[in-house]
Structure 1
Amino acid sequence: MKIDRRAMLAAGLTGGLVAAQAVAQTPSLPPPPTPAAGDPDAPAWPAREVYRIWPGKQPGALATLPTPKPTMNGRSGRRQLWIRGVAYAELHVFRPAVPDGSSLMSIPGGGYGFVSVQNEGLAVAQHFNALGTTVFVLVYRLPREGWGTPHLVAIQDAQRAMRFIRGRATEFRIDPARLGVLGFSAGGHLASDLVVSHADNLYAPIDDADQLSAKPAFAGLVYPVTSLISPAGDRRLSGMLMAGLPDPILEARSPVRRLTADAPPSFLVHAFDDPLVPMQHSLDWITACQAVKRPVEAHLVATGGHGFGLGLPKDSSGAAWPDLFGRWIRKNGG
């Protein structure tokens, strides 16, 4: 992996100075409307620290921005906080009591129709904060909510978010060389897209942070979509994620087809009985990693379905995956 640790540390120190100058442009925000006032299932959201990652107009922004719609929804009896109407890409910062310098950006799923911030964001922060890891939950813009470049807004946000975090490494008390990603479902697609597209020129640089690397040190992919031209020619998933795009764009946004020997180590979790994202997406990623000789570890569980996050039953062997991932990242860049 070609992340130069000394250069990244220097970037963190320099970025701290840049960040100090940029605070007035990208301040912590007041809380947005809380979901379902009085709902006993509603979690504490947003975080105490929230940052808009774009200091000015966002790439692809049109005259009218989406209207925020945080709601309590869920499947299989599990009520969760979903965010729709993402007007501004945001990072929600969760700091551990005793940070050890490691950090990860959690990218929740939601089929690019919403952002499931509770089980794939807040739960991630709670678990990994206890291990000393600083967690950044990314609320990214959604392709179908009226952006001029719908197929690019999410990956633009992911690139910018990584650079934003590294630009403030000193402020966040993290080692910028130990910043990875953990993506779920559509968020797994976005995380895997970041693995292969981190250096692509997808937006015009706006400040010194954009000179920093957007490459994750490691990638956790949980029931991920790794191709928009899905197995057996089934276009249902590509239609759900980015409807109506021509094949060249679907190819470009199909990370498993672009994996190279430059990729960071990968850790995958998937259930055999996933009814929404076939396990073949993870199997193809494993095969691609082996083809380019990149480290990969996978935990394939018998049952769990889709969208379980960190919430598999305690008596399930798969319930241990977050702890296994926590150990794995310490040996693989985190």
Structure 2
Amino acid sequence: MGAVVGASGARAQTVADGGRAGPADPTEIIRLWPDGAPGGQGVTVTPVVPERSTDPAFHDRYAQYTTVPILTVFRPERPNGSAMLLIPGGGYRWAVLDKEGYDVARVFAASGTTCFVLRYRLPADGWAAGPDVPLQDAQRAIRLIRSRAADYAVDPHKIAVLGASAGGHLAGLASARTDATYEPVDAADSAALRPDLTVLMYPVATMADPYVHAGSRTHLLGDTPSAERIAAYSLEQMEWRNAAPVFLLHAMDDASVPVENSLQLLTTLKAAAVPTEAHLFQEGGHGFGVRLIQGKPAQVWPDLVRAWAARLDFPL
């Protein structure tokens, strides 16, 4: 079992790996907020991390009711100078840890990228910032990584973000929005808050019918959000000019988050002159990560991302 270490030196327990086969969980953990996450006066939830896998060969855990958001660090053997913040999905109901977090981090750490998996707070748990609560954690994470770049042999101008499903929505918010969603807490908050490269896997992009992932919208915005609120949190309706380059990937047979989420966003990115590459796969469904896509054409997606980033002088 590892330990959480924050700027204040405070420590707290993290998740044990349960003795399953395969690589052990990293023990290097960064607590995002040294004196506690902001706006928690009305929060009464108790964090849980259930295990869904019945196969001893792999984990499939998710974090729900998170009150202490953290980064789990995957240090490569030979750092290539880049960092990646990984934001897994979970419909804003929870955040999966393994499938779109640890599993993907290991793939990119193997080629030299220092990876940080974000365990973020959820918008329906009573935090004062409501739908901006996950974005507070994402912005703070990017600033922490950038401010500590020298500690990880990372170029502070080569901080990527990879988000999957609802985590793709959160990564998109972090990429498009330029406003800080919290008051500064320490010197790290003087660092830039947007990423230098963005990868969106089968992202929940729109909050609008008919292509919205209804569960994500409900958990983010409530049961009856106004048209104005829906527009404000729909990535395809946001201002993307001057955002970092974006890579989109989606399966055409995704029955949970329709491919139109990526297609509509692609149109917006093109109009905003954001350098963008998009790959649509005939099959793959939703939530495939890296393990569930083996043996299908979409299994090459990490190599496609690396090749695209390399053309931008961004080693992944």
**Length-normalised TM-score, structure 2:** 0.89
Deviations 1:83-132 (A, max 9, x none): 11201111111110000111110000000111111011111121111111
CA separation of 1:234 and 1:224: change in aligned 2, threshold 3 A = closer
Deviations 1:221-253 (A, max 9, x none): 000011212436885542244323433333222
Letter in 2 for 1:261: R
CA separation of 1:306 and 1:233: change in aligned 2, threshold 3 A = closer
Q: Answer yes or no: is the 8 Å Cα contact 1:42–1:72 preserved in 2.
A: no
Percentage identity across paired residues of the two chains = 37
Determine the structure 2 residue equivalent to 1:261.
241
CA separation of 1:141 and 1:232: change in aligned 2, threshold 3 A = closer
Report the Cα offset of residue 136 of structure 1.
0.6
Determine the structure 1 residue equivalent to 2:264.
284
In the alignment, structure 1 residue 275 sits paired with structure 2 residue 255: yes
Report the Cα offset of residue 79 of structure 1.
6.0
The CA distance in 1 between the partners of 2:6 and 2:236, in whole Å, is: 39
Task: Give the 3-state SS of the residue equivalent to 1:227 in structure 2.
Answer: coil
CA separation of 1:215 and 1:313: change in aligned 2, threshold 3 A = closer
CA separation of 1:234 and 1:177: change in aligned 2, threshold 3 A = closer
| TM alignment of 1:100-139, pairs within 5 A | 100-139=80-119
CA separation of 1:30 and 1:43: change in aligned 2, threshold 3 A = farther
The CA distance in 1 between the partners of 2:214 and 2:102, in whole Å, is: 31
Letter in 2 for 1:120: E
| TM alignment of 1:3-14, pairs within 5 A | none
Unaligned runs of 5+ in 1: 1-22
Equivalenced residue count is: 306
In the alignment, structure 1 residue 34 sits paired with structure 2 residue 16: yes
Determine the structure 1 residue equivalent to 2:217.
238
Runs of 4+ aligned structure 1 residues displaced above 4 Å come to 232-237
In the alignment, structure 1 residue 163 sits paired with structure 2 residue 165: no
CA separation of 1:107 and 1:262: change in aligned 2, threshold 3 A = same
Deviations 1:141-162 (A, max 9, x none): 0112221222111001111110
Deviations 1:189-217 (A, max 9, x none): 000011111x2031111112111101111
- Relative contact order, higher structure (CA 8 A, sep 6+): 1
The CA distance in 1 between the partners of 2:186 and 2:83, in whole Å, is: 23
Letter in 2 for 1:328: W
Report the Cα offset of residue 26 of structure 1.
3.6
Q: Answer yes or no: is the 8 Å Cα contact 2:162–2:171 preserved in 1.
A: yes
The CA distance in 2 between the partners of 1:319 and 1:125, in whole Å, is: 15
Task: Give the 3-state SS of the residue equivalent to 1:152 in structure 2.
Answer: helix
Q: Answer yes or no: is the 8 Å Cα contact 1:28–1:51 preserved in 2.
A: no
Report the Cα offset of residue 259 of structure 1.
3.2
| TM alignment of 1:19-168, pairs within 5 A | 25-27=7-9, 29-34=11-16, 37=18, 40=20, 44-45=24-25, 47-62=26-41, 64-73=43-52, 80-168=60-148
The CA distance in 1 between the partners of 2:213 and 2:202, in whole Å, is: 17
The CA distance in 2 between the partners of 1:239 and 1:107, in whole Å, is: 19
CA separation of 1:327 and 1:206: change in aligned 2, threshold 3 A = same
Report the Cα offset of residue 314 of structure 1.
3.2
Report the Cα offset of residue 57 of structure 1.
3.3
**Length-normalised TM-score, structure 1:** 0.84
